[in-house]
Structure 1
Amino acid sequence: MRQVTPLTDGWSLREADGSGEPLPAVVPGCVHTDLLAAGLIPDPFLGRNETEVAWVGRRDWTYETELAAGPGAHERTDLVFDGLDTVAEILLDGRPLGRVRNMHRSYRFDVTGTSGRLAVRFASAHDEAEAVRGRLGERPGAYAEPYPYVRKMACSFGWDWGPTLVTAGIWRPVRLEHWSTARIARVRPLVTVEDGTGRVELAVEVERTRTGAPLAVEAVVGGVRARAEIGEARGTVRLEVPDARLWWPRGYGEQPLYDVELTLLHGERALDVWRRRIGFRTVELDTSPDAHGTGFTLVVNGERLFARGVNWIPDDVFPSRITRERYRRRLEQAAGAGVNLVRVWGGGIYESEDFYDACDELGLLVWQDFPFACAAYPEEQPLRGEVEAEARENVVRLMPHPSLVLWNGNNENLWGFRDWDWEPGLAGDSWGEGYYLGVLPRVVAELDPTRPYTAGSPWSGSWLHHPNDPAHGTHHSWEVWNRADHADYRLHVPRFVAEFGWQAPPAYATLRRALPGEELAPDSPGMLHHQKAEDGNGKLERGLARHFAVPTGDFDRWHYLTQVNQARAVAAGIEHWRSHWPVCAGTVLWQLNDCWPVTSWAAIDGDGREKPLYHELRRLYADRLLTVRPDGAGGGLVLAAVNQCAQAWHGALRLRRMSVEGAVIARADPDLAAGARSVARIGVPAELVPSGPKEFLVADAPESPRAGGAGSGEGLRALYFPVPDREVAYPRPEFEVALAPGGITVTARTLVRDLLLQADRLDPGARADRGLVTLLPGERVTIGVRGWKTPDPDSARCALYCVEPTR
């Protein structure tokens, strides 16, 4: 049987020129984390230290360890690297074993019968990329750094939310594999289900030490066993599982997973074993033309879905630090917000098995980008061969996961070619189209025909339409954040919104940790350094000024209001688009997470703290959502009851036109009847439509699937104010605060708009169980707080914020 010896201990690190003393190295890891552990560089996440460590990515580095000879009982010993970041030469006692230049691949070298000093010499990825650019010519991109010229995590070179920290190192596990006769080189599982029968076809490839030895494979799935002979290099074993239980996305059913074990045999002697988990489900992408344009709807097990999605970036700029537990925690946060789809964005990586395992278990659908983002990518060698090799490896690696439902060729590159003035400057040079419309769909069709592929995001399906046409395929909505008011989300009904978002700073405790000793202000040095978006603060302020009086000289107020505006902006988009199901079939928020402490579009900040936006997502992505929006046709209001439950939604609505002082001006109680997986639209009677700065509409509905909603804790609520907050004649908020078991209770004496407990101001480790809540006079809410060491109502009051009347 194949034996494995992990190579985790005894590594050292030094500059490749031999200068300096060797340092202890952690493998898996990277140069930055080893230098940080040795106290040789400051934490690049703090203050403006990022610039102080830029030199690290410009140097060459060497990892070394002693390699012992393998067990004598085996015919072959391989040195296996699951991931090398990125450009490296591997040597054993000075003898070259090979050279590599792709972070997204694994590598294997025959070291049978040898031992000695193993060295992995990493060249600067900056230098490699700049050298390739020099040979192939300049290509346009969103950023000046040369990330399109090397197969490496693009956001290592910086992004509009991330630092420039160009890593190097043995970033995934390394081991020795000892084997004889033959080993399993690759297993490609095709998993399908039809009429209740699950079918598993395992295409097996083997590597041999010698020809002629008779081989077989035996596979077991769900108690079903099958055996097949293996030819010189490959074979296939097929199994049928009767009464297979279907794997469903969260909110649609359960997520049963089946263990698969495949054993390679020589006679009756086991040589190697391959183990994975699979799930039985079907997936289609409906891109049929209709009266509205060209659709983009995911269909799982025959059920058409509204995708409630988030974009995922690498959870740390140093990916080797992301543990299985951290993946699970972050993805549980996504699931807790009602998310059912996670898009792995193309400027990052193919994530580890731990990520996809968690998605399988949590019922989170995965949309996987191939790693191309926001640039023209050359198609010549050495890049072309690397692209195909990495695609082939990762398609097969990720195929077992039922959560994976879509392959996507790139992020924004087709759009960039058409809209960002790339085409004239390229003058016929290659820019990636051959990957997205040629290589990648061919690889997916050959290796993984059970899953759909789309050429890019955004993409209208062909060059017959503009790549970002909202009526066709996927759409990225960035004009609103960049230039307009978030109310403008209501101007369009895209078929699928794959990116949109609004910025806000991270939690207060995150800022205090990241900017120690700094007097915080929107434009203080550290705050500006941790704002990477072009004119980010200007866009924040202009977006805020459309709705609130922008506070001057009051950072705490600015911090609160920008977080409120982020939640309001995202709500404006999602409420509008969900209310137009099935024309619009999905929203994918930019973005779920951050890779360091930064002002960004994230719902969860770089320290893992949940912004108010996160809690707002729990409302926006709940199975049932109530929203009031202007009726574009008649100038009145429409109440939309969005019901993504499998059961119909019936009951009596309660509509109240109210004054800001709390008086009911008019009331109606229309019936609510929303069928399963549908939207009911109800016109608001004219006499209930509020006008001016002193009125608003309250709509309440019964039967929320989430208990503990705003106000009374029963049902769902939607609010509509006819004018921006800066024009609303809010009364000065009055409320009482009392301790409650596990938290606090707030009782409103006036209208209290968007009350927020910033629990991290009570204690950096404290978390509140809810975000923004609006209370009418006399209503109360209980806010749970975890990690609050010394509860008292006075400190709680100091950590409570709400919208106040414009001075």
Structure 2
Amino acid sequence: MRLQPLTVGVSLATNLQPVTADPLVFLNGQAVAIPSWDLQSSAAIGTDLAALSKAGVDTSSWHHVKTSKCTLMGCLINSGVYNETELFYSENLKRVDDRQFSVPWTYRNEYALEPGSGKYFFLRTHGISSRADIFLNGKQVASKTVQAGSFAGEIYNITKLVDKQNTLAIQVHPTSYYHDFALGWVDWNPWPADNGTGVWRDVEVKQTGPVALETLRIVTKIGPTFERLKDPATVTLKARAENLEDNTIFITAHGSVFATFGRKAPITWSKQFTLPPRSVTDIVLETTVSDPAIWWPKQWGEQALYSGTLAITINHTLSDSITQQFGFRSVTSRLNAHEDVTYIVNHVPFQVIGAGYTPNIFLRFDPQKWEAELQYVLDLGFNTIRLEGKNEHPILYDIASRLGIFLMPGWECCDKWESWSYNHDLFLNPPPVWSSADYTIANHSMLHEAAMLQTHPSVLTYLIGSDYWPDDRATPIYLNALKIYDWQTPVIGSASKRGHSPLTGPSGMKMEGPYDWVPPNYWYETDNPRYGSAFGFGSELGAGVGTPTLSSLQKFLSTSDLEDFWRSPSKPLYHMSREGSEFTTREIYHHALVARWGTPTSLEDYLMKSQIMDYEATRAQFEAFAVKWSAKRPATGLIYWMLNNAWPSLHWNIWDYYMKPAGSYYGAKTGARKEHVVYDYVKKEVWIVDRTVNKFYRERQVEIQVLGLDGKVKFESRVNVESLPNGSGRVAGLYGPGALGNLTTEGVFLRLMLRGKNSTVEGNGGEMAVLSRNVYWLSKELDRLRWDKTTWFVTPVEGYANYKDFNKLATAEVTVGVERRREREVVVNLENRATVPAFFVGLELLNKDGNDVLPLTWEDNFVTLWPGEKMSLVAKAVGSGVWQPASVRVGGKNVKQTLVTVY
């Protein structure tokens, strides 16, 4: 079966007929996306869609796009007009002529159908940015006042317009982030020249019989307590059925629930309904699953997925059928006495640990990259990703559901979506007031997103506001739309505490920064809770780090750019945030780096110090929130700002655009470990963290050792403790004179080891297994914060910790052995043969050309080895791409760089 449509038109002057193709759709219940497009600007072809949507138009000079969905810039990249690598180099993106996108563009496709008696056809959009006129076979399907909003999906009955050969033309209009309901970028990065205009989600053609179904909703109910999760569960399949004919129709609705795992037989049942002429009836089918398998986030259990199908037959002939994947799980939320929100998953308090996601700057569809990105999320130990106004495509939620990662979709800040009279932070002030038509678009947008997301177990919540809450007219519109689609997870009014609607109540989330560099002790200043420190639910906050490594920097920065990057801290850099924002320079970060570590002597020296700073910053944030999960005012969640970048960027990421993990990644990975032992910088205390959901305590042992820069032991201790599942507990204080209370030197190393008493390492005679290893570099004095000078994006530092003595470390000799283990794994064996620590040893896996092998995960990286210590680190391929490692590059702060062949 071939599903491709005609994509080659012919000149009207030739009088030739289009070449026929197999039908795009030929089964009732089948929906197929338009697979490709011919694209051209109205400056070249005009705006007569009635003519452009007829057969015979010569499109040989148009751009031919071999994808079902793309913005204008994405399409032009796909068709070879632009090259993404070249666009991202230096300031090339700035040179794209945005005037070409100030006029409408037309997407066109020719395809075949098989119309006939009893067949009905629908055109389904899932959001076009931001407005579009749609014509089919010379007739208008929708105007730009109807097809409006980047997330506003619509369903059009095109039965009377279709023929055997069909021509679809969609004219998209220029998008304004401040005047249209689009998918914008705020200050995250430069804006694309087209402002994201185009068919960025699929446009589908669906065929049905006389009765058509809308989106399938699936409502589940599981046992009322954690102990009763295995009680019989109920599952209800719901969909609105439309009788498309002028006579009464008797139908049979068939339900099916099928476990996608194991070999259990599907549960099937049916029910008869009578549909009056031209009516819409809500079909409801309910059944019981006697022994439900529960869907859990990855760190807590298995990802049991089911498939639900609702089908309509008329006289034993299929009219329509819809299938969705779902899982049995419960998500609720509550506010504590401090009005901080806590999520409850399957009746267990759930601390959200995650980061803010961004799509590609051109919204390019790339499921393979999403798979790799979500594998990284699991490797990091995160459990949640926030999608602020970047709700993406259903397949992202499918991947997340399969892998066990929660997603937090919602609307975005700082543009049309939050153009409220009480929002004084907008670029346009006063903000444009919403019209009645705007509220209609918002309603259609919420209805579509609710329908698209409702069944996915990976959806944790929906944020109907970001920086500000929606007004008194928009709030009930959003809530009613979610109710119509049987929304089952919490709805949050906004991601901040600036205000709220009485219909939603307080959000329970804070948005008080920081977004730029702060020292590690910032997060532990919680006795008198301040701003972003580790209490409550931080919806977006971080130290603004994420410095790419040299191999990545050289891909997108010119020689002069690289010079500015490390030598000119106050100069705006194009690869930071959008021009004009507070984040166009690395000045705050650079000033701290120089004050703490000394003036860089080279680009390589700057990058080494940057990776140390990035590692330290992310580790401290994630560790502090983990420690304070059990505090009197608990840290209920954090969304680190940010997870990734829309294009090659110099900050705000856990991994860079090229999928290369560096300091911020491995710091975050250390800080988010499932079982971990942590140092509190402010109180000089050691804490144990256990993020599992087991209902029993486990015996553990914590080893504490302080080492001078000369490699001599200054303090050591072992403490037997019991872990507190889904919580944290204090192990010991290090503020006494024998530990860290009387430091006379500027720097020491602190190593914390967590061992499990109930498991052993094979071949070590019963030695307890190392569950966590954590090394800190500590200065005599902490960084001193000026809390009274805090702005919305940073808290200034008036006195810096001094790490300059670490620059004087004696050189450490580290031997490196490399071997393959399994087809897509490499093991690197390290041994420090020096009498001093080998500080911040980093590993890079390279191919035969000396380029990074990516994407991959390292078991650990940027490690500090004690004198005589041995360590084996495993690198694993992520995804199914090319895996051809040839060598490993190893180097550290006091370890000379070496290249070792992979055998």
Same fold by TM-score, threshold 0.5 exceeded?
Answer: yes
Distance in 1 separating the partners of 2:623 and 2:33: 51
Residue 149 of structure 1 and its aligned partner are, at CA, apart by: 2.0
CA contact (8 A) 1:409 1:436 kept: no
Secondary structure of 1:651's aligned partner: strand
In structure 2, the residue matched to 1:642 is: 689
Matched, 1:698 2:751: yes
Amino acid in structure 2 at the alignment position of 1:773: V
In structure 1, the residue matched to 2:168 is: 118
Residue 573 of structure 1 and its aligned partner are, at CA, apart by: 1.8
TM alignment of 1:104-253, pairs within 5 A:
104-112=151-159, 113-115=161-163, 117-126=167-176, 147-155=177-185, 159-160=188-189, 165-194=194-223, 195=228, 196-210=231-245, 211-222=247-258, 223-230=266-273, 231=275, 232-234=279-281, 235-253=283-301
Matched, 1:318 2:362: yes
CA contact (8 A) 2:105 2:172 kept: yes
TM alignment of 1:588-599, pairs within 5 A:
588-599=639-650
Residue 737 of structure 1 and its aligned partner are, at CA, apart by: 3.3
Matched, 1:622 2:669: no
Residue 381 of structure 1 and its aligned partner are, at CA, apart by: 2.8
CA change 1:65–1:725 in 2 (3 A) is same
CA change 1:365–1:7 in 2 (3 A) is closer
CA change 1:513–1:482 in 2 (3 A) is closer
In structure 1, the residue matched to 2:552 is: 510
Distance in 1 separating the partners of 2:771 and 2:621: 25
* CA RMSD, Structure 1 to Structure 2 (Å): 3.2
Residue 16 of structure 1 and its aligned partner are, at CA, apart by: 1.0
In structure 2, the residue matched to 1:141 is: none
Amino acid in structure 2 at the alignment position of 1:118: L
In structure 1, the residue matched to 2:765 is: none
Q: Deviations over 1:22-79 (max 9, x none)?
A: 2212332232233234443453222222112242433321122335454325432223
Q: Deviations over 1:158-196 (max 9, x none)?
A: 634765552332222233323331111232222211351
CA contact (8 A) 1:504 1:540 kept: no
Residue 305 of structure 1 and its aligned partner are, at CA, apart by: 1.6
In structure 1, the residue matched to 2:842 is: 756
CA change 1:78–1:707 in 2 (3 A) is farther
Matched, 1:659 2:708: yes
Residue 253 of structure 1 and its aligned partner are, at CA, apart by: 1.4
Choose which of 815, 824, 846 in structure 2 pairs with 1:737: 815
CA contact (8 A) 1:410 1:436 kept: no
Matched, 1:458 2:542: no
Residue 436 of structure 1 and its aligned partner are, at CA, apart by: 6.4
Distance in 1 separating the partners of 2:104 and 2:501: 43
Choose which of 466, 489, 505 in structure 2 pairs with 1:411: 466
In structure 1, the residue matched to 2:406 is: 365
Distance in 2 separating the partners of 1:338 and 1:328: 16
Matched, 1:777 2:867: yes
Distance in 1 separating the partners of 2:380 and 2:175: 38
TM-score, normalization: structure 1? 0.85
Matched, 1:394 2:423: no
In structure 1, the residue matched to 2:733 is: 684
Residue 90 of structure 1 and its aligned partner are, at CA, apart by: 1.1
TM alignment of 1:279-294, pairs within 5 A:
279-289=327-337, 293-294=338-339
Distance in 1 separating the partners of 2:256 and 2:516: 54
Q: How many residues align?
A: 742
CA change 1:725–1:791 in 2 (3 A) is farther
In structure 1, the residue matched to 2:721 is: 672
Secondary structure of 1:17's aligned partner: helix
Secondary structure of 2:204's aligned partner: strand
Secondary structure of 2:462's aligned partner: strand
* Structure 2 unaligned regions, length at least 5: 1-26, 47-60, 259-265, 421-432, 527-533, 763-768, 781-800, 820-825, 897-903
Amino acid in structure 2 at the alignment position of 1:539: I
CA contact (8 A) 2:509 2:539 kept: yes
In structure 1, the residue matched to 2:472 is: 434
Distance in 1 separating the partners of 2:78 and 2:345: 46
In structure 1, the residue matched to 2:72 is: 31
CA change 1:778–1:477 in 2 (3 A) is farther
Distance in 2 separating the partners of 1:401 and 1:165: 32
In structure 2, the residue matched to 1:425 is: none
Secondary structure of 1:387's aligned partner: helix
* Structure 1 unaligned regions, length at least 5: 127-146, 415-431
Amino acid in structure 1 at the alignment position of 2:746: P
Matched, 1:489 2:523: yes
Distance in 2 separating the partners of 1:666 and 1:7: 66
Amino acid in structure 2 at the alignment position of 1:203: K
CA contact (8 A) 2:809 2:894 kept: no
Matched, 1:381 2:432: no
Q: Deviations over 1:655-712 (max 9, x none)?
A: 223322111233322322222222120332512125131444333221399999xxx9
Percent identity reads 16
Residue 622 of structure 1 and its aligned partner are, at CA, apart by: 1.4
In structure 1, the residue matched to 2:21 is: none
CA change 1:752–1:718 in 2 (3 A) is closer
In structure 2, the residue matched to 1:264 is: 312
Distance in 1 separating the partners of 2:445 and 2:748: 59
Matched, 1:447 2:485: yes
TM alignment of 1:525-674, pairs within 5 A:
528-532=573-577, 534-552=583-601, 554-582=602-630, 583-630=634-681, 632=683, 637-645=684-692, 646=694, 647-674=696-723
Residue 259 of structure 1 and its aligned partner are, at CA, apart by: 1.4
Distance in 2 separating the partners of 1:494 and 1:790: 43
Distance in 1 separating the partners of 2:723 and 2:474: 41
TM alignment of 1:320-339, pairs within 5 A:
321-339=364-382
CA contact (8 A) 1:182 1:209 kept: yes
CA change 1:107–1:392 in 2 (3 A) is closer
CA change 1:455–1:3 in 2 (3 A) is closer
CA change 1:765–1:626 in 2 (3 A) is same
In structure 2, the residue matched to 1:11 is: 37
232-241 vs 668-677, greater mean Cα deviation: 668-677
Residue 263 of structure 1 and its aligned partner are, at CA, apart by: 0.7
Amino acid in structure 2 at the alignment position of 1:122: V
Residue 743 of structure 1 and its aligned partner are, at CA, apart by: 4.9
Distance in 2 separating the partners of 1:246 and 1:788: 35
In structure 1, the residue matched to 2:565 is: 523
Distance in 1 separating the partners of 2:760 and 2:314: 56
